[in-house]
Amino acid sequence: MVLRLPDSHSLKDKRQVVRSLLARTRNEFPVSSAEVGDTERWQIAELGFACVNESGAVVAEVLDKVVRYIEDTRPDLEVLDAHQETFAVE
């Protein structure tokens, strides 16, 4: 997921928003999360979320809910991109 943080004016501002957002999503959903790219741009945050389940449909549903949660709870942030990849282990 790529977010634009228009109110961020420094890396410190960005880190505060990202840390809070990652903690809140981990508390709300069964996901692991981290900032995975664009770590030096203070108005862009690239976040990764991972969910493991025996059902790919459940994983897709959880990740969709994470995106909606961020959109609903942080209208000050702009979602620039959000995509999912699902892997099956056999």
Query: What digits encode the pLDDT tens for the residues 45-68?
Result: 999 999 999 998 999 999 999 999
Q: Rounded distance, CA 32 to CA 40, Å? A: 22
**Taking 80 as the threshold, does the pLDDT of residue 71 lie above it?**
yes
Q: What is the 3-state secondary structure (H, E, C) of 48-75?
A: EEECCCCCHHHHHHHHHHHHHHHHHHCC
Tokens 């056999």 correspond to 90
Question: Using alpha carbons only, how large is the chain's radius of gyration in Å?
Answer: 13
Q: Please report, for the chain, the start and end positions of each structural domain, with discontinuous segments joined by +.
A: 2-81
Q: What is the CATH number of domain 2-81?
A: 3.30.70.1120
The average confidence (pLDDT) of the chain is: 94
Whether 89 has a pLDDT exceeding 80, the answer reads: no
pLDDT tens figures, 4-59: 999 999 999 999 999 999 999 999 999 999 999 888 899 999 999 999 999 989 99
Closest to 21 (Cα-Cα) out of 40, 39, 46? 46
